[in-house]
Amino acid sequence: MAEIPEARPQTYELPLSGQLRMMIGAFWAAPVRNRVLVLTAALLIVIFSTTYAQYRLNVWNGPFYDSLERRDMPEFLNQLVVFAVLAFTLTLLNVIQAWLNQITAMRMREGLARDLANVWLVPGRALKLTSAGAIAANPDQRLHEDTRILAENTTNLAIGLVNSTILLASFIGVLWAISSDFVFHFGDRSISIPGYMVWATVLYAVIGSMLSNIVGQRLPRLNADRYAREADLRAVLMRTNENMKPITLARGETSELRRVHLAIDNVLEMLRQVAWALTNLTWVSAGFGWLALVAPIIIASPMYFSGGLSFGGLMMAVGAFNQVNLALRWYVNNFGVIADWKATLARVSSFRNALLAMDTPAVEGELLTYREQSDAQGIRLCGVMVYGDPDRGEAGHGIRLREGECVIRPSGRVMINGDPGADRHLFFQALAGIWPWGRGEIGLPPRDGMVFLPQEGYLPTATLKEAMTYPTGLPDGSDKALAEALEKVGLHRLVDRLNDVERWDRVLDKDEEALLSIANAVLRKPEWVIMDDVLEGLEPETRERMLDVLAGLDTSTLVYIGRAEDYLEKFSPTIFHLSPLQQNGKGSQKAAEAKEEA
Three-class SS of 404-453: CEEEECCCCEEEEEECCCCCHHHHHHHHHCCCCEEEEEEEECCHHHEEEE
CB environment 61-83: b (16+ within 10 A), e (fewer): bbbbbbbeeeeeeeebeebeeee
The DSSP code for 371 is E
Per-residue pLDDT of the chain (598 residues; tens, 9 = 90+): 444 444 444 578 888 899 999 999 999 999 999 999 999 999 999 999 998 898 888 788 888 888 887 888 888 899 899 999 999 999 999 999 999 998 999 999 999 989 988 988 887 778 777 767 778 777 877 888 888 889 999 999 999 888 888 877 777 777 777 776 666 666 667 676 777 777 877 787 778 778 877 887 888 788 878 888 888 888 888 878 777 767 776 777 888 888 889 889 998 998 888 888 888 888 877 787 777 777 777 777 777 777 766 777 777 777 777 777 777 778 767 877 888 898 889 989 998 998 888 776 544 457 889 999 888 889 999 999 998 877 777 888 889 998 888 899 998 999 998 877 788 888 998 998 888 888 899 999 998 889 999 888 888 888 888 888 887 777 677 888 889 889 998 998 998 898 898 888 888 888 999 999 898 888 888 899 999 999 988 899 999 999 999 998 888 999 999 888 999 999 999 999 999 987 654 444 444 444 444 3
* Region for residue 195 given its phi and psi (left: phi exceeds 0; alpha: psi -120 to 50; beta: otherwise): left
pLDDT (0 to 100) of residue 232 = 84
List Cβ neighbours of 477 (8 Å cut-off, separation of 6 or more). Answer: 469, 523
What pLDDT was estimated at residue 583? 66
**What's the confidence (pLDDT) of residue 84?**
92
CA torsion sign, 13 to 16 to 22 to 26? positive
* pLDDT computed for residue 360 by the predictor: 67
CA-nearest of 5, 26, 2, 28 to 14 is 26
The CATH H-level (homologous superfamily) assignment of domain 16-357 is ABC transporter type 1, transmembrane domain (1.20.1560.10)
Predicted local confidence at residue 9, as pLDDT: 45
Q: Given this model, what pLDDT does residue 585 score?
A: 46
Domain chopping of the chain, boundaries: 16-357, 369-597
Domains 16-357 and 369-597 share a fold: no
- 8 Å CB contact between 127 and 4: yes
Predicted pLDDT of residue 13: 84
CATH architecture of the domain formed by 369-597: 3-Layer(aba) Sandwich (3.40)
Strands 413-418 and 574-580 come out as parallel
Residue pair 527/555 in contact (Cβ under 8 Å)? The answer is yes
pTM over 0.75: no
